[in-house]
Structure 1
């Protein structure tokens, strides 16, 4: 029997690339989208799901379980970007980011774990971000929500190991996707003390996305993890310097690392 894979946020970007790659490898793939009807040509079967809505999550998971009886692999991919000076980001946008990037994946895990415990097997892959390993200027909220998911995963991973369930983090760097289009941008405020620095940083971030790696690199990495009998706690996928930045943070004094980041962002 083909393994059943459940991917949140699979209508575009990394989620779509992963889904199509696994489909070609013989997996039975179910993806999710808030509006599946907008993607009539999707190669992946799309199920309606909004990660900010608990009932929507439960309904989508139960739909797949009723059809397949078991979900072997869950990929928590749905996420949203957010940029801006912390001082100028509305609180409701900060809450929405955490609802999508942190609380949503937690609710998805809660929805699938009872079935995985019953079958005494399962794999959950949480897509985080290299940005979650460090506080970045004008991306502090995004770094915080993705960093929190990294730590949640470390903890719950130990809780479910006795049930033969594996949970792992995969932190991508910049990939050439349409994530910038769906990202919340705090507006550039004319005359703001942050106008110049935030404007320059925003341009740089958009360039990094446009010049990012091929999403198929993520798909191949996910496939390798699924094939592993003992998935690691953390994986990083992206350009060498992006992954190396995590190593530098570990070995450099905090103030020196902060200076490197400020030089990079021309602050």
Structure 2
């Protein structure tokens, strides 16, 4: 399929990949991925299961390293050797499983690994509670209390806490891997509203993986389609439609079925 790409001349790029490839033994997960993310932009990444979406964001957050290709941050090539290093450069990822500790309170999860220490080297719970409350309120994240255990929150609220934690640590590139998976309409709307609020601030650039094309069109500025380890479609959401995205996926299913029948 021919790559369709919008004209974005003049927009500031914060992240670029050039010809990224990644193999796991005999399996080629990514073969030639060139992607751009602009400052303050929300980029939707779609594609069938196994297309390489999660592998791509794991390269961007330092969890995996590419076999070939380049990653450029603010125009400078970087080698992301670990998740910690990527975070130090302002790149963070929120996985579907969130990496939250269910038995801990919201405010303890907000500062997990970055705890505030007070007198006699004890945890400064009062300060962390106050800062967590102020930050969540400023982002419009509504929960019963920052003292409640994360396990008692809804799926949408837990996802919001994970996103808020990344924003609090001044991440400027946020990678959301299936944040809407297995959520009902109400919980999904909470996350979409949060992403929309972050976009309005213009302080964070976001890559969001999702299967629901309507949600992608609602919240994203641009959409990329990943097929067989490479990006085959790059277009502003304002210039595409649910029908076009659906047709692309249906055509891919049709091609896969024909290939299967011919083997």
TM above 0.5 = no
- Higher share of residues assigned strand: 2
Looking at both structures, which has the greater relative contact order when contacts are Cα pairs under 8 Å and sequence separation is at least 6?
2
- Higher share of residues assigned helix: 1
Alignment TM-score, normalising by the size of structure 1: 0.35
Alignment TM-score, normalising by the size of structure 2: 0.35
